[in-house]
Amino acid sequence: MVKVAFIGLGVMGYPMAGHLAVAGHDVTVYNRTADKAESWLEAYADKADGELYMAPTPAGAAADADIVFACVGADKDVAEVCIGEFGAFDAMKEGAIFVDHTTASANCARAMGAAAAEKGLSFIDAPISGGEAGAVNGALTVMCGGDADAFAKAEPVIQAYAKSVKLLGGVGAGQLTKMVNQICIAGAVQGLAEALNFAMEAGLDAKAVVDVISKGAAQSWQMDNRAETMIDGKFDFGFAVDWMRKDLGIVLTEANAMGVSLPVTALVDQFYCDVQKMGGNRNDTSSLIRRFRG
């Protein structure tokens, strides 16, 4: 067991840090809102095999940790907890590893990787997929970029909340892989939304249609997990439209810098904007069907 810190106890970070505690690691947590950290300590006090602490700053949490994990909002938040005032990097011991689970830009990952290296630290960008349910159930997919030796040390610890952990290349590769993931999801959800709307407009029993076509080539994770709730107009299942638009903004910015065309992704991003205008900011990503069904 190792000493770890976890920075950011949001929808994803709260249960992820909990899995580390249950796995027997000594865990120190930091959250911008202190009462969330206090709540976490209370929730896991009787479940943990190791020692649990909370700290008033990222630096306080990171001091003496072998691995520091973070799951915050965006590029600016990553920079703040890493190199801002009371940032983790200034307090981390030489040779420690910082694992960032935030979905951020590849440029942010590379900048933090360079800053970490200057201080004798290792940085792994490790965005995640699987949503709130994946975090709660310890079944996340973790896409990593960084040094192979650092990854080898961090991987067994990450497995406390992951079903799949893979190193895809150097720093930044994890974020680029997450962008590929979001491109795939955007197209798949839009296709499913169009198909279900077509079925209903044609007067078919949409659920019966899904039951049939899900046995063939049309099958997908989105169909298996979201088709029925889309038909029922229920959109409270995790990853929100606001978060997806943030992610797609990162994707489109990166693609523009690369000179790569993403016409479908750009169009679906605007469709998500339509959902936001309908008040669906906190709906899950399957709410694209609202553009057709209201």
pLDDT block averages, 10 residues each, the chain of length 294 = 96 97 98 97 95 98 98 97 98 98 98 98 97 95 98 98 98 98 97 98 98 98 97 93 97 97 98 98 97 93
Residue 294 is predicted with a pLDDT of: 84
SS3 call for 41: helix
Active site residues: 178
Phi, psi of 220 (to 5 degrees): -155, 165
Phi, psi of 181 (to 5 degrees): -60, -45
pTM (2 decimals)?
0.94
Residue 51 is predicted with a pLDDT of: 96
CATH superfamily membership of 3-170: NAD(P)-binding Rossmann-like Domain (3.40.50.720)
Give tens-digit pLDDT for 251-282.
999 999 999 999 999 999 999 999 999 999 99
CA–CA separation, 9 and 16 (whole Å) = 8
Tell the residue number behind the tokens 């088709």, with chain if given: 227
CA–CA separation, 147 and 43 (whole Å) = 34
- The structure tokens listed for 255 are 């693609």
Helices 173-201 and 106-118, interaxial angle, to 10°?
160
**Amino acid (1-letter code) at residue 288:** L
What does the angle CA 238 – CA 240 – CA 242 come to, to the nearest 5 degrees?
Answer: 165
- The structure tokens listed for 235 are 């959109």
Residue 238 is predicted with a pLDDT of: 79
Q: Which residues pair with 171 in a beta bridge?
A: none
Residue 265 is predicted with a pLDDT of: 98
Residue 165 is predicted with a pLDDT of: 98
Yes or no: say if 259 and 195 are a contact pair by the CB < 8 Å rule.
no
CA–CA separation, 37 and 290 (whole Å) = 36
SS3 call for 208: helix
Domain ranges of the chain: 3-170, 176-293
Fill in the DSSP letter of residue 279. Answer: T
Sheet holding 3-7: strands in order across?
A: 52-54, 26-30, 3-7, 67-70, 97-100, 122-125
Yes or no: say if 108 and 80 are a contact pair by the CB < 8 Å rule.
no
CATH number of the 176-293 domain? 1.10.1040.10
Classify 54 in phi/psi space as left (phi over 0), alpha (psi -120 to 50) or beta: beta
